[in-house]
Structure 1
Amino acid sequence: MTRNTTGRKLPLRMPPGWEPPVPAWSSVFSENQQHVSMCIIGCQHKSDAQISEFVGALNSLAQKADVCDFATCEDKDGYSQTIAIIYWMDAQSCADWLHSDAVTLFWELYSDDKWEFGIFREVFNVPFERLETLFSGPLHNHGFSQIRKDIEGPIERHGYWGGMRDRIPLSAENPFEADQTLEVIEQHGNRVVVRAHENLCIIRSGQDWSNTTGTQREEYLNQIEPVLKAGMNFLRDEGDEVNCYSCRYMTQFLPFKGKQECTFGLAFFRTMSDLEAWSESHPTHVAIFNTFLEIAPKYGPDLQLQLWHEVSVLPAGSQYGEYINCTEGTGLLSGVKLS
């Protein structure tokens, strides 16, 4: 997605004459591609034995989607969360799927108290002018980029504070500020529906070390990953200090086949400015950034570790989270006060 700098109302943050310290690439999609819908459907549980049937049923339902990734994590309330992140490149197809008889029956079945776990779904529809992607290599792809048309790069707009914003097309005229808060729009007993406000910022930022060997594998597991995990745990447990509503540090898995050597952080920030402030100045992220830059530049294009992210800034509208039998620290629930 080429970024045109002419006619900008807001300036780029890229320094004059900037040369990135390491190469990076962005995904390219068809010109007629206007939106991507992301539906996160999950289960909050104590035991993995509780959710095998849930995962199997969800996996079957998601076969019609464009992309589906399964992942699991430990949350700040001491539970496990197992989710599917389901992408649709057509918003109407996503809406039709969510309202289909099969998904409706699934939701009704697993929201029954007899299962003794919580379920949730977080549904977002993002215009392409409000998102960006970044990859450390030209061949690998993750997230909704698994169905991209092409890749562009190496690109200039990365490796400096503000590059994330500069890569989002609408940032040329929109500062992505928020003057609203998350809102509870329905609450009936153990069921709560939360509506997202304008310019909620979502980041899914991942690491794939399945192709690393030797020194590069040791450096990731022993030097980079511990610092990364500390940063993710800070956002999970103390994220309200930096206006992060929720952070899940997740390990991907294939249903009934086991965990993959891929992790990602999935975080909801109040605004892009809040995400930028944490990234640029908080010790937990500065440590991640500096540790990576101590290692990656010496490998250049031979870096085996695959790093990537997708960042979106939501418009107001039908962006919501629905939670049944979940703790108050789950997802968007952590950003509201319940009666």
Structure 2
Amino acid sequence: MDLTTNERKLALKMPPNWVPPVPAWGSVFSEDVQQVSMCIIGCQHKDDADISDFIEALNNLSTKADVCDFATCEDKDGLYQTLATIYWADGKACADWLDSDAFALFWELYSDEKWGFGIFREVFNIPLERLETLFSGPIHNHGMSQIRKDIEGPIEHHGYWGGMRDRIPLSADDAFDTHQCLDVIEQNGNRIVVGAHENLCIIRSGQDWTLTKGEQREEYLNQIEPVLKAGMNFLRDEGEEVNCYSCRYMTQFSPYKGKKECTFGLAFFRTMADLEAWAESHPTHLAIFNTFLEIAPKYGPELQLQLWHEVSVLPAGNQFGEYINCTKGTGLLAGLLSA
């Protein structure tokens, strides 16, 4: 990824002579991959609902995808959202899958109110020039980076306010502003389709403590995770204050095997500037950032905790969320309330 100042219209945010406080790495995708398609497909349900058939059907349906991660969370309405985050390196293959008879039958079956839960799908097509990924180690990979070709680093463009923007190639020429709102494309009774506006910003930011032991495990569970959870709950419950449409703080699991020691926040912000403002100045994120920096530097490359994120800024068009029998606070629907 070329982040040099040559021929940039917009200057890098990186301070002169910058040295990152901790090392980090980024993913490199094959040259024939121009975009990554991400489908978030799930159900909204009561805690005691039987969703096993839905999960099994979705798991079987997703076998041809490049990546399929299952996770669950409690949402702001006191219900649960259990979903799969599904990635495709081939956008046409993703579109064909969504248009297939098998998916149509699945979607029609579980849209029936008889199941007692709502279903949703959020479909995003992300050009690589509008994407960045970041990892705390050179070996591990999560999310869409499970389909990467290689890894680069340690990189210097991180650890400062603005590094996230600097790592997105198109930021050299585009400030990613927007003057648009989310829009209802289609509505029929309990079914609503929402279209994303230009430069909607999505962050999926994860934590994997599977390999932590002893002191490092205790520090994560007792010091880092509580402030992380508080920050995610703020975005979930009061995100409109910082133009965050919705946030899910999710625990990953494997169907038939149970929960993993992996969590991630999945948040939709109106713009990248809104995400940056929350990260740089809001007490809930500063608590997360400062707690991490109190602990991580003393371990350096021996840090056992695996941290990662992927951030994308979407072009308008071909980005949407469809919600059937869901509450108004679900996903992109929540953004309509703050419009």
TM-score normalized by structure 2?
Answer: 0.99
**Structure 2 residue aligned with 1:82:** 82
- Please give the alpha-carbon distance, in whole angstroms, between the structure 1 residues aligned to 2:17 and 2:48: 52
- Please give the alpha-carbon distance, in whole angstroms, between the structure 2 residues aligned to 1:231 and 1:337: 21
The structure-2 alpha-carbon separation of the partners of 1:9 and 1:262, relative to structure 1 and needing over 3 Å to count, comes to same
- Whichever residue aligns with residue 68 of structure 1, its letter is C
- Please give the alpha-carbon distance, in whole angstroms, between the structure 2 residues aligned to 1:313 and 1:263: 22
- Whichever residue aligns with residue 78 of structure 1, its letter is G
Q: Can you give the 5+ residue segments of structure 2 that lack an aligned partner in the other structure?
A: none
**Structure 2 residue aligned with 1:297:** 297
- Whichever residue aligns with residue 143 of structure 1, its letter is G
Q: Secondary structure at the match of 1:6?
A: coil
- Please give the alpha-carbon distance, in whole angstroms, between the structure 1 residues aligned to 2:95 and 2:3: 30
- Please give the alpha-carbon distance, in whole angstroms, between the structure 1 residues aligned to 2:82 and 2:48: 9
**Structure 2 residue aligned with 1:200:** 200
- Counting only pairs closer than 5 Å after superposition, residues 79-158 of structure 1 correspond to structure 2 as 79-158=79-158
- Whichever residue aligns with residue 51 of structure 2, its letter is I
Q: Secondary structure at the match of 2:160?
A: coil
**Structure 2 residue aligned with 1:286:** 286
**Structure 2 residue aligned with 1:239:** 239
- Please give the alpha-carbon distance, in whole angstroms, between the structure 1 residues aligned to 2:49 and 2:193: 27
- Cα offset, 1:123, TM superposition: 0.2
- Please give the alpha-carbon distance, in whole angstroms, between the structure 2 residues aligned to 1:183 and 1:103: 25
- Whichever residue aligns with residue 191 of structure 1, its letter is R
- Whichever residue aligns with residue 195 of structure 2, its letter is R
- Please give the alpha-carbon distance, in whole angstroms, between the structure 1 residues aligned to 2:190 and 2:148: 39
- Cα offset, 1:49, TM superposition: 4.2
- Please give the alpha-carbon distance, in whole angstroms, between the structure 1 residues aligned to 2:264 and 2:285: 15
- Whichever residue aligns with residue 68 of structure 2, its letter is C
Q: Secondary structure at the match of 1:31?
A: coil
**Structure 2 residue aligned with 1:220:** 220
- Whichever residue aligns with residue 139 of structure 1, its letter is I
- Please give the alpha-carbon distance, in whole angstroms, between the structure 2 residues aligned to 1:47 and 1:211: 29
- Please give the alpha-carbon distance, in whole angstroms, between the structure 2 residues aligned to 1:142 and 1:72: 17
**Structure 2 residue aligned with 1:16:** 16
- Cα offset, 1:337, TM superposition: 4.6
Deviating 4+ runs (over 6 angstroms): none
CA RMSD of superposed structures (Å) = 0.9
Structure 2 residue 59 is matched with structure 1 residue 47: no
- Whichever residue aligns with residue 74 of structure 1, its letter is E
- Please give the alpha-carbon distance, in whole angstroms, between the structure 1 residues aligned to 2:75 and 2:214: 32
**Structure 2 residue aligned with 1:260:** 260
- Please give the alpha-carbon distance, in whole angstroms, between the structure 2 residues aligned to 1:176 and 1:246: 19
Deviation digits for residues 63-107 of structure 1 (CA, Å, limit 9, x no counterpart): 000000000000000000000000000111000000100000000
- Cα offset, 1:30, TM superposition: 1.1
- Please give the alpha-carbon distance, in whole angstroms, between the structure 2 residues aligned to 1:3 and 1:30: 18
Structure 2 residue 34 is matched with structure 1 residue 34: yes
Q: Secondary structure at the match of 1:64?
A: coil
- Whichever residue aligns with residue 29 of structure 1, its letter is F
- Cα offset, 1:2, TM superposition: 3.8
- Please give the alpha-carbon distance, in whole angstroms, between the structure 1 residues aligned to 2:226 and 2:307: 16
Q: Secondary structure at the match of 1:17?
A: coil
- Cα offset, 1:5, TM superposition: 2.8
- Cα offset, 1:295, TM superposition: 0.1
Q: Can you give the 5+ residue segments of structure 1 that lack an aligned partner in the other structure?
A: none
- Whichever residue aligns with residue 85 of structure 1, its letter is T
- Please give the alpha-carbon distance, in whole angstroms, between the structure 1 residues aligned to 2:210 and 2:248: 21
- Please give the alpha-carbon distance, in whole angstroms, between the structure 2 residues aligned to 1:189 and 1:4: 51
- Cα offset, 1:48, TM superposition: 4.8
Q: Secondary structure at the match of 2:332?
A: helix
Percent same amino acid among aligned pairs? 80
- Whichever residue aligns with residue 65 of structure 1, its letter is A
- Please give the alpha-carbon distance, in whole angstroms, between the structure 2 residues aligned to 1:98 and 1:5: 40
* Number of positions where the alignment pairs a residue of Structure 1 with one of Structure 2: 338
- Cα offset, 1:206, TM superposition: 0.2
Deviating more after overlay: 24-33 vs 75-84: 24-33
- Whichever residue aligns with residue 324 of structure 1, its letter is I
- Please give the alpha-carbon distance, in whole angstroms, between the structure 2 residues aligned to 1:32 and 1:100: 24
- Please give the alpha-carbon distance, in whole angstroms, between the structure 2 residues aligned to 1:49 and 1:335: 27
- Please give the alpha-carbon distance, in whole angstroms, between the structure 2 residues aligned to 1:56 and 1:2: 42
